[in-house]
A and B are shown apart, each in its own frame.
Chain A
Amino acid sequence: MMMSRVDRGVGERGPVGFALLRVLVVATIVLGVNYVAWRWLFSLNWYAWWIAIPLVIAETYSLIDVALFGMTMWRARTRPRPPAPEAGLTVDVFITTYNEPIDMVADTARAARDIRYPHNTWILDDGARDDMRQAAAELGVGYISRGEEWKDRPLHAKAGNLNNALLATEGEFLLILDADQVPLPEILDNALGYFADPKVALVQTPQEFGNVATGDPLGSQAPLFYGPIQQGKDGWNAAFFCGSNALLRREALMQLGLTQYVREVERAVLVALRGADRVIARARRGTDANDVMVNAALDEIALAVDTARTSLKQGEPIARVTYDLQQQIDAVSHAMVSFDLHLLEMDLAAIRELDAGTGDQLDVLLDVDTTVDTLAMRQLSPLGALESVQALLRTIDVDRSDEAVPLMPLATISVTEDMATSMRLHGLGWKTVYHHELLAIGLAPEDLGTMLKQRLRWAQGTMQVMLRENPLVQRGMTWAQRLMYFSTMWSYLSGFAAVVYFTAPIVFLCFGVLPVDSNAAEFFARFLPFMIVNQLLFVVSSRGVSTWRGQQYSLALFPIWIRSVTSAVANVYFNRPLGFVVTSKTRQEGNQWGLVRVQLVLACLLVISTVIGVTRLVLGVGEPIGTLVNVAWVVFDLVVLSVLIPAARFRGFESNTQEVSA
């Protein structure tokens, strides 16, 4: 018998449970501040500042992290069911694919086609594969791939794929599905109703995976995120778009595309105008100083650019300024052609005189005006000779000729387009909804390597958004919304804190250096209450769903998190490529241990330092309570890291032969 999907996992929280949750949030923050403030003010071991300072910073990081988590939980409630959607809404269902197996996409497309509420289904094939097109035709669903306009222009991966399809379709609402997310027939009936509120732009539903082995060795399921965390963000009107299994309002995306278009154009024009003098000066150096024509043209262009700059500064609309500028440039081009043709006429007259008597064969230029117009057009204009200048002038226009389509509703600033998009939607005042009901079943990576790549991509994307559009300084969002986005970004910085947490016990056990300057009783009196309440908060927040695996991974994958930060910084500030790869849905073969060698080395160091610490204790050099605490710490670290052993040994999912009767 199939379990009701609505009641699974994290259920409804009663009023008592909710009150308890809020008490725990307050208690955690109060006890946390009590501990960390004491650590900063009264227990720093300045003699070992090189480990004491990093440790107290890591602890402060963790306190902020848990405070943001507490703020999220403050409003973590299950929404009441939405009304049934009215009939007659138009919906496009998009299935995005790049290189996934045709059969897998076809399975998803078939299920999408069979969604009950009337809709159109489209396969968005970024691989432009003929057999995919054929499969779509056989299933009776639409097929969209990139057109000519994308050639030689930035593709923007999945965001570009969706933007391309948005311009080719017309439904009021969109359901976006990854190639491996098989939707249930009721997905639209159950989630479309939220759009009765005209301010709702997005409904995100959970992502769960059907191919996860018992115990979830790769930590694929995210019950805490697609549960209390998204519900808590939703409570602050900050539920995130997660790329798949989400419904979107076309009008909101289009508004986003338009606002973004204006912003991009303004930025491009301002940058181009700012750099114009340099480009013109360089063009001047490149031409013969005696070339009167060229220098006169450059003078005119410099003047036109200057006028444009002044008008913009005086608040003239960008459309008029760029139009006026292009008109002036056209006039320059026109004047040059007229001048050329005038000289040409005189030459012809001279030739005609020489040939006097041979007839009227040189009667040319029948229609001077049209001829001048044609020769002054962009493709034929004499200004074409000044290539850099002409490239500059092209930028100072509103047609965004550097992009395939001027409107890019889905954000292209990050490899994870989803988070940036919902952040911008919130910035424009739209509402988002998290609908806590499983309405599509996906496929998770089946090996450690693929899983690590996927995690790295998510983390890199999040970091790109943080560095390019830091939520804390985005206008239009409430402070709560800003903090909800910031919270997720903040949690991806945990790799640095983890290094400190792994290093501190090694330092003590090997060298007897203690970063905390206090007696044991005082330390425990402040640390233990915080730690216990903190763990209680996790237990109550997740309502019985185990979050331990998630906690283990958030520490154990520290090399991935660190790499995501360093590569995103290199990408955003130094234009280095991210080394980005599309997550593979099929298993990669081969030995997986090399992928976690940093953690393996670390585990060895922890064991060795324990041996050293115990030896020091036996020899009477080590301090007993400190050694005990640090050995316990090492054991905790090793238990955390142990999550990687079954993960590296995991050899793929084999479906249990269980009968499911409908």
Chain B
Amino acid sequence: MEYTVKDLGGGVAVLHLDGRLNMTSAARLREAVTSTVANGHPRIAVDLANVDFMDSSGLGALISGLKTARQAGGDLRIAAPSEQVKLVLQLTNMERVLLAHERAETAFSG
């Protein structure tokens, strides 16, 4: 999995993920969130448009990111999940914790 960070200003950053969010990439996502928060962006929109697969480890990393963001007084929101990702969110009831937004860029402007 690859990722890029885009600064939207006002403490908001978009985290574009590309690839599979699984056991081997979960740690990297966790680090990405931590460093983005540490760089002064406690409000993170995770763009899942290019994530075609997520397993329980990947989900765990998202929730752990949510915790990190909340502890810094911010939030973590997700955008554009694929069908498979939506399925995992539904199965775990996490769709109620991580509301899916249509576009990452507008996740914090609503």
> Which A residues are in CB contact (< 8 Å) with B59?
340, 344
Contact A375 B92 (CB under 8 A): yes
> Which A residues are in CB contact (< 8 Å) with B57?
293, 336, 340, 382, 385
A375 and B64 in contact, given A293-B23, A364-B97, A365-B93 (Cβ under 8 angstroms): no
The reply to whether the CB of B20 lies closer than 8 angstroms to some CB of chain A is yes
State in angstroms the CA–CA spacing of A29 and B102 once bound together.
88
A384 and B53 in contact, given A294-B23, A362-B97 (Cβ under 8 angstroms): yes
> Which B residues are in CB contact (< 8 Å) with A386?
23-24
The reply to whether the CB of A299 lies closer than 8 angstroms to some CB of chain B is no
The reply to whether the CB of A2 lies closer than 8 angstroms to some CB of chain B is no
Contact A382 B23 (CB under 8 A): yes
Count of chain B residues near A, Cβ 8 A: 26
Contact B70 A351 (CB under 8 A): yes
A351 and B67 in contact, given A336-B56, A340-B57, A380-B55 (Cβ under 8 angstroms): yes
Contact A297 B23 (CB under 8 A): yes
The reply to whether the CB of B38 lies closer than 8 angstroms to some CB of chain A is no
> Which B residues are in CB contact (< 8 Å) with A347?
60, 63-64, 66-67
CB distance from B79 to the nearest CB of A (A): 19
CB distance from A370 to the nearest CB of B (A): 8
Contact B88 A375 (CB under 8 A): yes
> Which B residues are in CB contact (< 8 Å) with A139?
none
CB distance from B46 to the nearest CB of A (A): 15
A364 and B94 in contact, given A344-B63, A347-B64, A380-B88 (Cβ under 8 angstroms): yes
The reply to whether the CB of A581 lies closer than 8 angstroms to some CB of chain B is no
A-B pairs under 8 A by CB, number: 93
Find the residue from B27, B53, B66, B67 having the highest chain A CB count within 10 A: B67
State in angstroms the CA–CA spacing of A441 and B67 once bound together.
80
Chain A interface: which size bin?
Answer: 20 to 34
The reply to whether the CB of A659 lies closer than 8 angstroms to some CB of chain B is no
Would you give the 0/1 interface string for A348-367, flagging 1 where the beta carbon is closer than 8 Å to chain B?
A: 10110011000001101110
Contact A385 B60 (CB under 8 A): no
Contact A341 B53 (CB under 8 A): no
Within 8 A of B (CB), among A325-341: 336-337, 340-341
Find the residue from A297, A340, A375 having the highest chain B CB count within 10 A: A340
The reply to whether the CB of A307 lies closer than 8 angstroms to some CB of chain B is no
Within 8 A of A (CB), among B78-106: 88, 91-94, 96-97
The reply to whether the CB of A518 lies closer than 8 angstroms to some CB of chain B is no
A348 and B55 in contact, given A291-B27, A293-B23, A343-B60 (Cβ under 8 angstroms): no
State in angstroms the CA–CA spacing of A355 and B70 once bound together.
9
CB distance from B88 to the nearest CB of A (A): 7
> Which A residues are in CB contact (< 8 Å) with B24?
287-288, 291, 294, 385-386
CB distance from A584 to the nearest CB of B (A): 45
CB distance from A355 to the nearest CB of B (A): 7
Contact B56 A340 (CB under 8 A): yes
CB distance from A164 to the nearest CB of B (A): 32
The reply to whether the CB of A374 lies closer than 8 angstroms to some CB of chain B is yes
Find the residue from A366, A371, A383 having the highest chain B CB count within 10 A: A371
Find the residue from B27, B59, B92 having the highest chain A CB count within 10 A: B92
CB distance from B60 to the nearest CB of A (A): 4
The reply to whether the CB of A381 lies closer than 8 angstroms to some CB of chain B is yes
State in angstroms the CA–CA spacing of A337 and B26 once bound together.
13
State in angstroms the CA–CA spacing of A380 and B53 once bound together.
8
State in angstroms the CA–CA spacing of A361 and B20 once bound together.
29
Instruction: Name B71's contact: one of A336, A341, A350, A383 (CB within 8 Å).
Output: A350
Within 8 A of B (CB), among A27-55: none
State in angstroms the CA–CA spacing of A375 and B90 once bound together.
11
The reply to whether the CB of B34 lies closer than 8 angstroms to some CB of chain A is no
Please name the residue on chain A nearest to B67 by beta carbon.
A347
Please name the residue on chain A nearest to B22 by beta carbon.
A385
Contact A354 B23 (CB under 8 A): no
Within 8 A of B (CB), among A268-303: 287-288, 291, 293-294, 297
State in angstroms the CA–CA spacing of A406 and B60 once bound together.
39
Find the residue from B57, B70, B94 having the highest chain A CB count within 10 A: B57
Please name the residue on chain A nearest to B25 by beta carbon.
A385
A371 and B96 in contact, given A347-B66, A351-B66 (Cβ under 8 angstroms): no
Contact B67 A361 (CB under 8 A): no
Contact B70 A354 (CB under 8 A): yes
A375 and B55 in contact, given A366-B93, A380-B88 (Cβ under 8 angstroms): yes
Contact A382 B93 (CB under 8 A): no
Some 26 contacts from A to B, beta carbons below 8 A apart, are: A336-B56, A340-B55, A341-B92, A343-B64, A344-B60, A344-B64, A344-B92, A347-B60, A347-B66, A347-B67, A348-B67, A350-B67, A351-B70, A354-B70, A354-B71, A364-B94, A365-B92, A371-B93, A374-B91, A380-B56, A380-B88, A382-B22, A384-B53, A384-B55, A385-B57, A386-B24
Binding site for B on A (CB under 8 A): 287-288, 291, 293-294, 297, 336-337, 340-341, 343-344, 347-348, 350-351, 354-355, 361-362, 364-366, 371, 374-375, 380-386
Binding site for A on B (CB under 8 A): 20, 22-27, 53, 55-57, 59-60, 63-64, 66-67, 70-71, 88, 91-94, 96-97
Leading 10 A-B pairs by shortest Cβ distance: A340-B56, A385-B22, A364-B93, A385-B23, A382-B23, A340-B60, A385-B24, A337-B56, A347-B67, A375-B56
